[in-house]
């Protein structure tokens, strides 16, 4: 099972929004670039970045910072947050050089964007974020709940050619209360899509629970707060070693 560290960026800093509420934002690092370098040093195979400013406003105020990460860290970057037009999708893939993009709100409001992006870039470059609260979709940076059921929506995305979704129960994001195992299982079985789990991971035992869902198509998991707060024993050793290594300079990847 692939473990994907998450870097959420707001105002150029690494943050975590607890349960999707802006007033519960926790700041972890002044430098998302250094966090990405640390995750690479800890052997991350893919890093997910959420541009929270882009998600809330649609503006790409963190573009140059994310560009620096894609150019200097040498790990494939999965990027989400505020991808509301084909021009933005094209810029992120062909100019910024991200590995794949995550479409959330726009997959609800603009089906043509999903269709055109898959036709142009291929299904392996497009991931749909199924952000739910009580099994119904939320959008606009999780601020608005819809009357669209997650299973119905994900099944519709599959018909458009989508192959992978991120299933994220926003009530568990940043809470360390454990993933929504039943929700993950149901959406994987019902749709037959590849599923990445996000939200609620607190420990190695949570990872083991998700690993038991691999047989249904849940093949990866995104982690944020549990990584930043060293909830895994091996991390304590790594982070102690890194305390005096503030630069985290790494060789360029050719």
CA dist., res. 174 & res. 225, Å (int) = 6
For residue 28, pLDDT over 50 is answered with: yes
Residue 51 phi, psi (nearest 5): -90, 95
* Span 60-73, pLDDT tens digits: 889 999 999 999 99
Kindly indicate the confidence band of residue 195, based on its pLDDT and cuts at 50, 70 and 90.
very high
* Span 133-149, pLDDT tens digits: 999 999 876 778 889 99
The tokens describing 143, both together, are 């601020």
Q: At what angle do helices 181-191 and 150-159 cross, to 10 degrees?
A: 30
Which of 135, 83, 136 lies closest to 105, judged by CA?
83
Which residue carries 């360390």 as its tokens?
176
For residue 34, pLDDT over 70 is answered with: yes
CA dist., res. 148 & res. 154, Å (int) = 10
Check if the beta carbon of residue 135 is closer than 8 Å to that of residue 146: no
Q: What is the average per-residue pLDDT within 155-165?
A: 97
Residues designated catalytic: 8, 131
Average pLDDT, the chain: 87
* Prediction pTM value: 0.87
Q: Domain 2-242 class? A: alpha beta
Any alpha helices (H) in 9-148, and if so which ranges? 32-41, 52-57, 63-72, 86-90, 105-109, 111-121
């Amino acid at each position: 099972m692939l473990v994907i560290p998450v870097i959420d960026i707001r105002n150029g800093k690494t943050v975590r929004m607890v349960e999707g509420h802006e007033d519960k934002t926790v700041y972890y690092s002044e430098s998302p670039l250094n966090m990405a370098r640390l995750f690479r040093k800890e052997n991350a195979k893919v890093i997910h970045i959420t541009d929270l400013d882009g998600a809330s406003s649609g503006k790409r105020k963190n573009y140059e910072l994310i560009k620096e990460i894609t150019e200097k860290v040498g790990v494939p970057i999965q990027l989400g947050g505020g991808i509301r037009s084909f021009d933005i999708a094209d810029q992120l893939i062909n100019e910024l050089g991200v590995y794949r993009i995550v479409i959330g709100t726009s997959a609800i409001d603009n089906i043509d964007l999903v269709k055109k992006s898959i036709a142009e870039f291929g299904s392996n470059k497009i991931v749909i974020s199924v952000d739910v609260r009580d099994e119904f979709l939320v959008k606009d940076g999780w601020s608005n709940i819809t009357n669209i059921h997650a299973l119905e929506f994900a099944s519709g995305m599959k018909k458009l050619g989508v192959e992978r979704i991120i299933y994220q129960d926003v009530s568990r994001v940043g809470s360390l209360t454990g993933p929504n195992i039943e929700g993950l299982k149901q959406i994987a079985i019902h749709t037959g899509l590849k599923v990445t789990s996000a939200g609620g991971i607190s420990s190695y035992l949570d990872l083991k629970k998700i690993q038991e869902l691999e047989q249904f198509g849940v093949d990866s998991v995104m982690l944020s707060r549990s990584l930043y707060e060293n909830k895994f024993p091996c991390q304590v050793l790594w982070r102690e070693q890194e305390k005096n290594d503030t630069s985290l300079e790494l060789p360029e990847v050719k």
